[in-house]
A and B are shown apart, each in its own frame.
Chain A
Amino acid sequence: MARTRRRARFTGYWLMLPSALWLALFFLVPFYSLIAMSLYDPEGSSLTGYDMTWHFANYVDVVQAYWRPLLRSFWYAALATLGCLLLGYVLAYAIAFKAGRWKNLMLVLVIAPFFTSFLIRTLSWKLILADDGWIVNTLQAVGILGPDGRLLATSFAVVMGLTYNFLPFMVLPLFASLDKIDHRLIEAAGDLYASPARGFFKVTLPLSMPGVVAGTLLTFIPAAGDYINSELLGSPNQRMIGNVIQNLFTNQGDYAAAGALSMTLMIIITIGVVLYIRRAGTEDLV
């Protein structure tokens, strides 16, 4: 790239400057504000103002008060991620290896649900799973659900909603990984008398691991912080940590606790992600 070198030495810096400044000002500084907020004196209020008093006890307080929704968020997110992985792998595999000339069309169809609002899609599930709806009636008729059994306002509905909403985030990175695989490697496994199943587990699956790692992260992280599904499809028994944080901010005005809880979520996720990536042993995620 001899020609790029001829360009002014500082052009790169000038091009980068606006974005870097924006992200510093509206991403890094807010993070600092959030940390400060999480250490506010809890006695303050939005009217009298808060004092930043290094009040680390906030963290202990919120974990003690909200460990249930916190754990539930990670549990639901894990289940939804597993569901997305199973469904997403099948779909991504079909697109990458079986779709032929329909590949592009199927990829467009994967992202197309994004074009209807997240909230409207979730509300649509509320209708599908409704108590007098077709699905509930059928399940009651075949005896899977009791006569008073319902799907709405259960953990199942919330996990299903999360799975549904974040599925494209799983399919796209999986597809990107699977699509790169050299088909000759899979054929070679067959030529060496590996059964299709063995070929899959020894060749295809390991080669698609970067996609699995990226996909699971892209589903798990937003799912753990989501509160739309638990609010619309669940009941107070399915409250997730996002519901609590949102509620602390807007209804109770307890900024110190809300900040501490947000930070707790972020810290746990960061530690989890670092450990996970170390274990899965891949760094090229994007």
Chain B
Amino acid sequence: MSPLQKVGRWIGEHLVLALGLLVLIYMFVPIAIVALMSFNDPSSRNVYKFDGFTLHNWLNPCEPSGMCASVVRSVEIGLLATLVATILGTLAAFALVRHRFAGRGPLNTLIILPMAAPEIVLGSSMLALFVSAGFGGKLGFVTIFIAHVTFCLSFVIITVRARLSGLDDNLEQAAMDLYATENQTFWRVTFPLVFPGILGAALLSFSLSFDDFIITNLNAGQTVTFPMYVWGVAQRGIPMQVNVIGTAMFVIAVTIVLGSEITRRRRAKAAA
């Protein structure tokens, strides 16, 4: 093989990977900017560009009025909606995988539809319900919570169901063959095996809820969540602390995901 052919071959082998990495870089450019801007010392609030390095934003994250309150509200709504959606969704996933019952087809459609409808339509329909039920003037925490559980529920069911149906039921059979009761089998074998799926679903729920704007904006009334706060200040000047929250969220989430991946690998190694 001539050197030229070798070079051509090497490029052919690695070109796709290189292009793929370029796409990944494209996905991270805005996040790098957000992280950079969290250390920005802007000369004026109207000019949104990097003027100088400072730790001020990180040391005083709650300086812009109302921002931290909106973060707390988003966390509260996110935790509550995640809790309810994860419990209901996990029960439903068990029902769908482990039990036979009538009406499975329509139920599957009912579960997929909320994910298939555009958010603006989902939000409009909930607003229509709340208005016609006389809650038009009482939009707020409760209506946001209801809306969030509704769109998180489908994602939880699908995620947990995928984990559950990929489960090797030989392990459960073995437990039962070793005289474990149904209860013991469930809590000692089935549940620990499904748990990573449930945890993943909960994380997904929380980030969907925390990040949602379109549906929330229609059903929030005067309540301000973090994305709504950002939307509000986007029209004026964005306080750099918004970037602090964005970066912190990113770091926390990546830590959780990488942490669980590392423990999983360690356990897999220990088991082997």
B132 interface residue, CB < 8 Å from A? yes
**Most chain B CB neighbours (cut-off 10 Å) among A14, A36, A119, A224:** A119
Please, what's the 1-or-0 string for A145-187, where 1 marks a CB less than 8 Å from any CB in chain B? 0000000000000000000100110000000000000000000
Question: Would A227 and B120 be within 8 Å (CB), given that A90-B23, A115-B250, A232-B234 are in contact?
Answer: yes
Distance A241 CA – B210 CA, assembled complex (angstroms):
24
Contact of A249 among B29, B37, B218, B261 (CB under 8 A): B218
Q: Which of B218-243 contact A (CB under 8 A)?
A: 218, 226-227, 230-231, 234, 238, 242-243
Judged by DSSP, the binding face of B is: helix
Q: Which residue of B is nearest A46, CB measured?
A: B136
Whether A110 pairs with B107 at a CB distance below 8 angstroms is: no
Whether A108 pairs with B257 at a CB distance below 8 angstroms is: yes
Whether B101 pairs with A13 at a CB distance below 8 angstroms is: yes
A4 to chain B: closest CB distance in Å?
Answer: 6
Whether A119 pairs with B98 at a CB distance below 8 angstroms is: no
Question: Would A12 and B27 be within 8 Å (CB), given that A33-B128, A124-B34, A262-B124 are in contact?
Answer: no
A265 interface residue, CB < 8 Å from B? yes
A188 to chain B: closest CB distance in Å?
Answer: 19
B142 to chain A: closest CB distance in Å?
Answer: 12
Q: Which residue of A is nearest B111, CB measured?
A: A23
Interface size class of A (residues with CB under 8 A): 35 or more
B49 interface residue, CB < 8 Å from A? yes
A118 interface residue, CB < 8 Å from B? yes
Whether A18 pairs with B23 at a CB distance below 8 angstroms is: no
Distance A18 CA – B172 CA, assembled complex (angstroms):
26
Distance A30 CA – B135 CA, assembled complex (angstroms):
13
Whether A221 pairs with B207 at a CB distance below 8 angstroms is: no
A133 to chain B: closest CB distance in Å?
Answer: 8
Please, what's the 1-or-0 string for B165-199, where 1 marks a CB less than 8 Å from any CB in chain A? 00001001100100000100000000000000000
Contact of A120 among B34, B96, B147 (CB under 8 A): B34
B205 interface residue, CB < 8 Å from A? no
25 A-B contacts (beta carbon < 8 Å): A7-B182, A12-B98, A15-B92, A19-B92, A37-B128, A93-B16, A94-B23, A99-B20, A104-B261, A110-B27, A112-B28, A113-B30, A117-B245, A118-B213, A119-B231, A120-B243, A121-B34, A123-B242, A127-B48, A164-B30, A232-B234, A242-B214, A249-B218, A265-B118, A266-B117
Known: A109-B24, A114-B207, A116-B30. 16 other contacts (CB 8 A): A3-B172, A20-B92, A23-B114, A27-B114, A30-B128, A33-B128, A93-B16, A94-B19, A99-B17, A113-B30, A116-B31, A116-B246, A116-B247, A121-B31, A228-B214, A255-B128
